[in-house]
Amino acid sequence: MKKSIFISGAAQGIGAAIARLFYQQGYKVGIYDINQSQAQILADQLGPHAKAGLLDVANYEQWQTALHEFVAWAGELNILVNNAGILYSGDFEKIAINDHYRTIDINVKGVLNGCHAALPFLKKANFARVINLSSASAIYGQADLVSYSASKFAVRGITEGLDTEWKKYGIRVLDVMPLFVQTAMVKDMDAGSIQNMGVDLTPQDVAEQVLALAQAKGNILTTTHRPVGFKTKVMFTLSSISPQFLNRLSNIYLSRKA
């Protein structure tokens, strides 16, 4: 039986790249998104082993409906990818408070909802893994991206906690941590860090790392976090060994605007 993957926010960007890559690798692919019509277009392009559906990740009942529907079609749930996310950038006080709330609803509650609703299905599968989309913004809090950065710290914490807790079920919970990726989400972004660090990664770069985590052998040796790209790997490594004041100074430098 083909292994299956369920991807949230899969109609475009990174999620769509993950869907395409896993389909090419022979997986049954669930393309779920709040934009169901766009998700259906991608599923039709891929072929009969792709299924599209509606999913607002902030809505727990929609998660339950979507997962039941997907497992009935695919047979079991092997890989859950919590990809859906949004980003607001700019001065903290100039971003409407409801937009800060929406960031938490989608980026944090969406991951909590997905993991919670998917666990009964993951426990029944012969092989199960959760892969969350975190970010280099979860390495150190980012100016002009405060709520987004905070949401990705939360994703990092959820990943670490569940990767430990769900060991009893034989389920690994992992994340990928890319820097800025060439998607619509970073278009016209108002943050010094993107001006100084650039946008070097493509959705395909991230998708390939998700595939590597999904197929990694040896649960003990697979690390919980997977920085994506050279810059992120350097930042992730240095943050773990540098004094706190140096991390702060380097982030002040990186966040300066032209």
Mean predicted confidence (pLDDT) in 5-13: 97
Q: Which residues are catalytic, by number?
A: 148, 152
Q: Rounded CA gap, 50 and 4, in Å?
A: 10
Question: Of all residues in the chain, what percent carry a pLDDT higher than 90?
Answer: 67
pTM of the model: 0.85
Which class for 236: exposed (0-12), middle (13-18), buried (19 or more C-beta within 10 A)?
Answer: middle
Q: How many structural domains does the chain have?
A: 1
Are 84 and 63 within 8 A, CB to CB?
no
Query: Can you read off the two tokens belonging to residue 22?
Result: 């896993």
CATH number for the domain that contains residue 34: 3.40.50.720
Residue pair 80/159 in contact (Cβ under 8 Å)? The answer is no
Q: What is the pLDDT of residue 26?
A: 97
CA distance 185 to 202: 12
Q: pLDDT tens, 76-104? A: 999 999 999 999 989 999 999 999 999 99
C-alpha separations of 71 from 30, 32, 51, 112, 126 in Å: 9, 13, 11, 19, 13
Query: How does DSSP classify residue 169?
Result: G
Q: Which domain holds residue 69?
A: 4-254
